[in-house]
Each structure stands twice: as C-alpha cells, then as structure tokens.
Structure 1
Amino acid sequence: MIRLPPLPTIQEIIRIYGLSARKKLSQNFLLDLNLTRKIIKSAGNLKNCCVVEVGPGPGGLTRSILNTEVDKLIVVEKDARFIPSLEILAAASQGRMKIIQGDILNFDMADVVPLEYARQWQENTPEIHVIGNLPFNVSTPLIIRWLDSISKQCNLWSRGRASMTLTFQKEVAERIIAPPRSEYRCRLSVMCQYLCNVSLKFSIPGKAFVPPPKVDVGVVKFVPRREPLIRQPFGLVERINRHLFHHPNKFCVKSLGTLFPPDREDLIWTMIELSGVGDKLRPFELTNEQVQQLCNAYATIIEQEPDILTYEFRSQKSAKERRQKITRVLALEQRLLATNERTDGEKMQR
C-alpha cells in the first residue's frame, strides 16, 4: 500500500498558513484522521480508482484518500487560500494528485477524468468516485444539479455510473434516505431515490468539526441506478415533486391543484384517475412507484394540452398579491385624500 511520507499535521498546516473556516462559505474542517479514514472506507475499495474530491479545504480527507491505493486523485477547490497546503500533499503524492482551482457548481468533472476509467452505463460501476465534505450552503443545490447530470448521463456520468460519498447536515441526510411515511420524507427523498440507491453510512457529531456546527453531519453514499424508477425527463419529475411537497401533509389533490390553472380543476381528477393513486393519500405517504404513476399521468396530460406545462402557480399568486397590494395602497391614498379634504374644509369654516 502506498503511504504518504511524514508531513506536518493538518493543525500545523492551518497554523503555518493562517487558515480559518469562513462562516459565509459554510466551511467546517474535519481534522480527526480516524473520522476521515472512516469516510474514505465507507466509499468502498479505491484501489486503482480515479477519485474526484470536492472542496478539500486544508486536506484532511485528501490525506486519507492518498493513503489508499488510489490511482489518481483530482481535487477541486474554490478557495485560493487552501492551494498552498494542497500543493504540499500533491508534491508528496508521487504524481497521483492534481489540483484544480474552480467552482464545482460550474465545473464539468468529465473534463479531468481520463476515458480509461469509463464504463458503459449498463455495466458495473466504474472505478470513479466523488468524495466530499460539502459546505452546507451548497450541498442541496449541488446534489440536485448532479442528479440532473445523472439523469442525462452527462458531466462525470458520461463516464458511467460513478458513485458519490458526501457529507450533509444530518437532517438533510435523513431526508435523502427517508422512506414513505417517514417524518423526513420530502421532494429531495424522491429526487435522490428515483435515480440512485442511497444509504446513510454513519453520523458524525458536530463537535468533531472546526468550528463545530450546531448540527450533526451524515455521510451518504449514492450509487446511480442502471434504470431510473421514473422514466420521465428530470425537469418534469422535479416539477411534480416540487408541487406535491409544497403541502406535504395535505391530501395530494390539494398539492396537485397548483399544477393547473384555477379553472381547470377537471385536470386534477384526470391526473388522479390516470395514475390510479388514491386521492386520500398525502405526499409523504407516496412510494416512489406511485410518484412515477403521477409523473406518467401528468406527461399524458401535457401531451394533449402542452400549454399546461407553462402554467406557474407562483407567478399567478405573485400577480394576485401585487394586485391586492396595489388595491390596498389606492384605498389608503383615497382615505388620506378624504381626510385631508375634511381637514381643509374645517379650516375654511373656522
């Protein structure tokens, strides 16, 4: 097994380079190497693999990855302050590590993963892994973006069904894996589960991080499915789930009503009938298969009435709110004008 030579500890690196976690970037360092090793072990066997690490910071997880028999490690770091400390690890990695300074939200990982690691989608998972201790403020939008890429088999997933092992706030991790009827069941649960097999590997107490967040952290592994549970475009699935879980504890009829204009209540019942999903179910009770039936029913409706797809409940609601606000302002102005006229009249009489 390849081992790194003796190096300054992470704590020493932080002190030498004057590094600190920035609250506005939701940065929290994990310095306990026992925990970083545990995260890497939960990712699976990394021997001869290509790993993309997201947001390595001062390099805690990076060290544990390099202490495996990983073939190639690519780290993507946005914060330039961490580049010098990562360069120390790169120099000690015997040519296995490459540093890229960039924003992972706008980065195509396929550009840096060699084709030699790729596999066809229907084959076993490729020897490619994504690993990251994600900042809390980007974790949810980032995983939604990557799920979109998985659905389209683009970005890194043009190389095959690459696995991900990522950290999230414990509550977000619980939402990702939540089964039907769970108190954590939400839009994110369905979006993750219809495209990936997801599992919560273990939890880390917040006090293990520097600075310690007010919440614990969950380590979640994602393995893309060969076939999605819902065979509809990602945007359509996301739209259905966004509307469904707008009212997670009310009957589905209430939530689905926001998909259609107020004068098209008939389409709600058409969707219920086509899907075969009972109208007395609540969104958090729905299985992934039942959400699939609803998505298929909605797809059938918009095939027949394409304009329905452009209807936006929120924009209609906003327009209504603006009209109500204007009405209130005009009424207030009229009352003030009437009051001023009475006051002027009283002054003239005196």
Structure 2
Amino acid sequence: MSLYRLPPLPTIKEIIRLYNLRAQKQLSQNFLLDMKLTDKIVRKAGNLKGAYVCEVGPGPGGITRAILNSGVEELLVVEKDTRFIPGLKMLNEASFGKTRIVHGDILTYRLDRSFPKHLKKEWEDDPPNVHIIGNLPFNVSTPLIIKWFEAISERTGPFYYGRTQMTLTFQQEVAERLKASVGNKQRSRLSIMAQYLCDVELCFTIPGRAFVPKPEVDVGVVHFTPLKKPKIEQPFKLVEKVVQNVFQYRRKYCHHGLSMLFPEDQRKELTNKILKLANVEPTLRSTELTIKHFRDLCFVYRELCDNDPQLLAYNFREELRKKKLQTNPDVIEEEKNFTGTM
C-alpha cells in the first residue's frame, strides 16, 4: 500500500451510528467493517498508486477508505442509496477532493464517460490504469457482471479505456461458478460467459460473519482481467443464447438443450447436424463441455443462422408461451390485465 493515509476519521461503526444507517434487506445490503479485509480486497486489485478507480456501491465507505489509502489519483463512487452520501462526502473532504460521488444506478451509469480520455489504451496493450472494485449486493451481482461481459465483448462502457480490470465480491456459490472448470458440479452459464472473455481468479473467501448483518452464505472475491482475444469469436448474444440453451437441462445430455435452439419441425435434423459439425458427443453433459466445444457449437450455429436468418430469432420459450395463449383464453385475459397495471 502507498504511504498516503487518510487523516483520523470516525470508524465505520461510528459512521453507521452517526447517520443511523441500517442495511436494507430488500437491497441485499451487507456492510463489511473489518478494515483488514477491505485492505485485502483492494490489494487483490493490484498496484493502485496513481490509478483511476470506480467503486460500485460503497455504502458506509469501508472499501472506499482502503482504496483512498492505496494512493489513487481519483476515486469515483456510484451509490444508489442516498443515506450513504453524507458519509461519503466526509471521505471526499478527508481525501482533499479525490473522491467523486455519483448518486445513481451502476446498471445504467455511463462509465465510458467517467475518466480522462488519455487513459485509453489499445485492447492488445497492457490493461489501462482504470479499475472497478466493489462489494456487490447479491441481487445485482449477476445481472451486472453479465452486462459487463457484454461490454467487454463490445469494448464499451468501462472497457472503452481498454482491458479494465475488475475486483468484485459475489455470493460464494456464484464466485465458484464463475471460476468452475470442466466437470465441476458448479460449472454453469456464468462459467462459460466469464471464461471465454476473461482470465478469472477466485482470490479468497470472506466468512459471512465478517458482514453486518451476517448473510446466510460466505462471500467470494473474484478478480477479472479481460483477455486480449476472446476464446469464442462470435457476437455476445449468439454465444449467450447457445450457452443458455445447453445449460437449461444441466442434468441431461447436452443434445437436449441444444435441440431447443431449433423449431420443432427442424429440431431433430439440425440438432444432429450441429453436433456432428462441431464434433461434440451428444451424450456429454453440459458441465463436461469445454470452451472449445462451445466455440465450435457457436461457429456452426452461426453458419446455420447465416443460411436461415429466422433461426437466430427463434425462441422456444416464446413459442411455448404463444401456444399456451392460443389454447387458454383465460391466460390471454390475465396477461392483458397484468399489462394494464404496469
């Protein structure tokens, strides 16, 4: 850590008492008060001296202090809950204006406009001096990381600057899925989407008792470095569709999920074709498929879609829904009523 240190401040516990901050269950809030652990998370991000950092959901500011103590050039914090803003303003004053506070939702905030353009690097270069760090609420962690995977594939958002590194917390089971290797029972859609785009490191586990209030599960800290070249060179949405279909029947052979990529009248023929051309055994289970298997499946599926563009738009769940609506008028009426109340 840098020699720079914040001046004496109230402890995180004192901040929580001072501003009457209570974790809200509906927002999946859990506060990390142990400064040794917050320092450890920040160290896993690498050398932050002179870096530009975005912290997601700083809350009462435990990780925020550790980031500022690492000697960053600028810290952008994006916080949705207004209750935490006064405490964060205190940290901004203590850091002599190094903390930029945004009251907003990280799912919609434009990180591609957040830092100086001179930080931008070519994708093939070393990662830029830009980092994302955060103790993510459980209810936002999966949709957020999927959103960022898509941004990696498009080189947009925080990845406008290059291969921006991320150090984030997840529910332990989710952290294990992100890193799970072939044959591991935790291998899932998240495993493939993460590993075809990033080098994924499961750094360490934080016991649930370290948080206030104590969650029912432990928490894993995961570090991501986007790859110079994705392991599957196909559009993100296409890869996501193939992977989702394969893993929807994770306890069955992979041909079951793959078959749902195709309309019923072509299902058997095209499932056999994609398996044969991709050289994938139909009796492999989804957890046994390698990244190469998915790469080849996506390549063949892309070729099939190029020959028949309607295939890409086909969604078997939507087809099932339409059939239900056709055979059950009550469902149609319920959907109309539901839509009218939105």
Report if TM-score (shorter chain) is over 0.5.
yes
State the partner residue of 1:52: 54
Residue 69 (structure 2) pairs with residue 67 (structure 1): yes
- Structure possessing the higher radius of gyration over alpha carbons: 1
1:233 lines up with 2:241 in the alignment:
no
Match of 2:284 among 260, 281, 284: 281
Mapped to 1, the partners of 2:327 and 2:221 lie a distance apart of 46
Q: CA deviation at 1:194?
A: 0.4
Shift of 1:323: 4.6
Which of 307, 311, 317 lines up with 2:310 in the alignment? 307
- How far, CA to CA, are the matches of 1:82 and 1:233 in structure 2? 39
Please report the TM-score for the alignment, with normalisation by the length of structure 1.
0.92
Structure 2 residue matching 1:73: 3-state secondary structure: strand
Secondary structure of the equivalent of 1:106?
coil
Higher mean C-alpha deviation, range 111-120 or range 78-87: 111-120
Instruction: Evaluate the alpha carbon distance shift between residue 282 and residue 10 of structure 1 in structure 2; reply closer, same or farther with a 3 A threshold.
Output: same
Tell me the distance in 1 between the aligned counterparts of 2:78 and 2:252.
42
Instruction: Please give the residue correspondences for 1:152-167 in structure 2 after superposition, counting only pairs within 5 Å.
Output: 152-167=154-169
After TM superposition, give the deviation of residue 106 of structure 1 in Å: 0.2
Amino acid in the other structure paired with 1:138: V
- Cα distance in 2 for partners of 1:203, 1:22 equals 23
Aligned to 1:335: none
Q: Which runs of 5+ in 2 are unaligned?
A: 332-342
Residue 213, structure 1, aligned to residue 215, structure 2: yes
User: Match for residue 8 of structure 1?
Assistant: 10
SS at match of 2:122: coil
Structure 2 partner of 1:247? 249
Task: Choose the corresponding residue for 1:191, options 190, 193, 196.
Answer: 193
**Aligned equivalents of 2:5, 2:313: Cα separation in 1:** 56
Of the three residues 314, 319, 325, the one matched with 1:316 is: 319
Aligned counterparts of 1:207 and 1:143: Cα–Cα separation in 2: 25
Structure 2 residue 80 is the aligned partner of structure 1 residue 83: no
Distance between the aligned counterparts of 1:245 and 1:73, measured in 2? 38
Deviations 1:311-348, CA, capped at 9 Å, x for gaps: 111012223334554599xxxxxxxxxxxxxxxxxxxx
Q: Take 2:49 and 2:112, find their aligned partners in 1: how far apart are those partners?
A: 20
1: distance between equivalents of 2:84 and 2:97? 19
Deviates more, 1:132-141 or 1:315-324: 315-324
Identity of aligned residues (%): 50
Q: Residue type matched to 2:228 in 1?
A: R
Cα drift, residue 95 of structure 1: 2.4
Q: 1:284 corresponds to which letter in structure 2?
A: T
- Hey, what's the Cα distance between the residues in 2 that align with 1:327 and 1:63? 56
Q: CA deviation at 1:252?
A: 1.5
Aligned-residue Cα RMSD (Å) equals 1.3
CA distance in 2, matches of 1:149, 1:215: 29
Instruction: Select 2:274's aligned residue among 257, 266, 271.
Output: 271
Q: CA deviation digits over 1:192-243, x for unaligned, max 9?
A: 1000000100000111100010000000000000000000000000000110
Unaligned runs of 5+ in 1: 329-350
Runs of 4+ in 1 over 4 A off after TM superposition: 323-328
From 93, 104, 107, the equivalent of 1:105 is 107
User: In the alignment, what sits opposite 2:262?
Assistant: 260
Q: What is the CA–CA distance in structure 1 between the aligned matches of 2:324 and 2:190, rounded to whole Å? A: 29
Residue by residue over 1:78-103, the C-alpha shift from the partner in whole angstroms, topping out at 9 and shown as x without a partner, is 11110000000000102221111110
Summarize deviations over 1:78-137 as a string: whole Å, max 9, x none: 111100000000001022211111100001112111122221111001111100000000
Q: Could you tell me how far apart the structure 2 residues matched to 1:309 and 1:2 are?
A: 54
Counterpart mapping for 1:167-178 below 5 A: 167-178=169-180
How far apart in 2 are the matches of 1:224 and 1:66?
24
Residue 31 (structure 1) aligned to one of 30, 33, 37? 33
Residues 310 and 16 of structure 1, relative CA distance in 2, 3 Å threshold = same
Separation in 2 of the partners of 1:127 and 1:210?
32
Aligned AA (1:291): F
Kindly tell me the number of residue pairs found equivalent between the two proteins.
328
Separation in structure 2 between the aligned mates of residue 284 and residue 319 of structure 1, nearest angstrom: 31
**Helix, strand or coil for the counterpart of 2:136?**
coil
Residue by residue over 1:47-103, the C-alpha shift from the partner in whole angstroms, topping out at 9 and shown as x without a partner, is 111110000001000001111111111101111110000000000102221111110
Partner of 2:338: none
Query: What is the rounded CA distance, in whole Å, between the counterparts of 2:285 and 2:321 in structure 1?
Result: 26
